[in-house]
Amino acid sequence: MNAIVFTSYTHDEMVAGIHALAAAMEAEGWRPALLVGVGRGGLAPGVYLSHRMNLPLVSIDHSTRIAPFGAELITVLAERTRAGEQLLFVEDINDSGKTIGEIRAALAAEGAIDTNIRFAVLIDNALSAQRVDYRARTIDRSLHKDWFIFPWEAMAPREKLAEEAMEVPERLA
């Protein structure tokens, strides 16, 4: 396998991406009642989008896999969709689709109303197993193998970034 190519996704790109996500929702007249930032990667974009759209934000812990944090909130969020509220889950990237798929499955298991749930990402892999509703940029992993370093990841050691990149090596092969 070739060396991993790390590509910075700059703060300016992120801000432009947040504006693009908000504009897409505004253009179609869709406005969620609540934003859900998916930990870790979706937390910073979620905060920015919350300010841009003047919407409340909660965070769901997904990256640590400490069940009570995420599971309890999933139950509450599913109840809210059954009450008619629309929710927007925010992530940095939809790459393999694993995280988004797990969240969708957990919500469905709690009886969430799928039509009241949408997902927004800064970068969407067209080959992902999951589809999202809003994206600022689309990539094709069969052509674009770079590993994106978002502003909130810039402090991480390269070794840790490489380890995360290799969790699904076929993305980069």
**Is 60 exceeded by the pLDDT of residue 168?**
yes
Average pLDDT taken over every residue of the chain: 92
- Give the pLDDT confidence of 125-141 residue by residue, as tens digits: 999 999 999 999 999 99
pLDDT band at 68 (very low <50, low <70, confident <90, very high): low
- Predicted confidence at residue 66, as pLDDT, reads 65
**Is 70 exceeded by the pLDDT of residue 35?**
yes
Delineate the domains of the chain, giving CATH numbers in brackets: 6-171 (3.40.50.2020)
- Predicted confidence at residue 69, as pLDDT, reads 59
- Give the pLDDT confidence of 36-62 residue by residue, as tens digits: 999 889 999 999 999 999 999 999 987
- Predicted confidence at residue 124, as pLDDT, reads 98
pLDDT band at 64 (very low <50, low <70, confident <90, very high): low
**Is 60 exceeded by the pLDDT of residue 21?**
yes
**Is 80 exceeded by the pLDDT of residue 65?**
no
Q: What does the alpha-carbon distance between residue 92 and residue 124 come to, in Å, rounded to a whole number?
A: 9
- Predicted confidence at residue 140, as pLDDT, reads 95
> What's the start-to-end Cα distance of the chain, in Å?
6
Average pLDDT over residues 96-117: 95
- Predicted confidence at residue 63, as pLDDT, reads 67
The model's pTM is 0.94
- Predicted confidence at residue 70, as pLDDT, reads 73
